[in-house]
Structure 1
Amino acid sequence: MDTNGAAFDVMSPGCPSRLILQRMGDKWTPLVFLALESGPRRFSQLRADIGGVTPKVLTQTLRQLERDGLLTRTIYPEIPPRVEYALTRLGGTLLGPLEVMREWSQVHAASILRARSDYDELHNA
């Protein structure tokens, strides 16, 4: 329910829940969550864990997730400053669904690659 008592509906074009669902479907968001599953990580650790993400895109993704209340950014007063990212309690509630998606993806990857190849062969002939 929103602040006016109306139910959220991702199928409605103007519903804010649609934007949240889109954020979860972003290329890098699920990987950030899975990298933070084991606990707080520094930026360089996240970047190493999430192969292929650029510093700019990782920074943007982390800022969006912090704004959404799904992770925290803690700066430690050290020289040089140490910054760690961690899931919030709300962010942690996504780990279960994301783990199911990760397992499904890994189990069915070969079948999907085979289906793509078959499709391409049929439609490019």
Structure 2
Amino acid sequence: MDTKPEQVRYDANAYLAQCASRTVLIALADKWTCLLVDALKDGPVRFGELRRRIGGITQKSLTSTLRTMERDGVVLRTVYPTIPPKVEYELTPLGRSVITLMSGIKSWAEFHVDEILTARADYDLRATLEPQPVRSP
């Protein structure tokens, strides 16, 4: 007897606030998710190594993001019965299906960072030079 729930197909439209695909999009668009997918693309990695590899991520953010990714079926968490317990994280087949997209976003950001920083500086300079609206009391 198959105890697996029947797969439900949604008429997905992420523009609709109530659509489940919106929650998937939000989870994938998270900066830590993007970096974690890329960090896990070569195989299983332990928690401490992920934390060292991804500068600036807090233990809380890493734990939370990994839990969300595990809940979404993107990451598999394996606990080995050792003392202390050894825990590894790896991408599931579903997680592996998003590697190209996430690695592409990361690569795009790294390739275009100079242009983006220049655009930001230009914008900030223009904002300081433009006359500010006068507010009435």
Question: With structure 2 as the length reference, what TM-score do the two structures score?
Answer: 0.86
User: 5+ unaligned residues in a row in structure 2: which ranges?
Assistant: 1-6, 130-137
With 6-15 and 84-93 compared, the bigger mean Cα shift is at 6-15
Please report the RMSD computed on the Cα atoms of aligned residues, expressed in angstroms.
1.2
Structure whose alpha-carbon radius of gyration is higher: 2
The equivalent of 2:21 in structure 1 is 17
Residue among 80, 84, 94 paired with 1:80:
84
**In the alignment, which residue of structure 2 is the partner of 1:99?**
103
How many residues are matched?
Answer: 123
Distance 1:6 1:75, change over 3 A: closer
Choose which of 47, 50, 70 in structure 1 pairs with 2:74: 70
| Structure 1 segments of 4+ aligned residues over 2 angstroms from their partners | none
The TM-score normalised by the length of structure 1 is 0.94
Equivalences for residues 1-125 of structure 1 within 5 A: 3=8, 6-125=10-129
- Gaps (5+ residues) in structure 1? none
Find the aligned partners of 1:26 and 1:87 in 2 and give their Cα distance. Answer: 16
Q: Deviations over 1:31-78 (max 9, x none)?
A: 111110111000000000111111111111111100000001000011
> What is the CA distance between 1:27 and its match in structure 2?
2.3
SS state at 1:53 partner:
coil
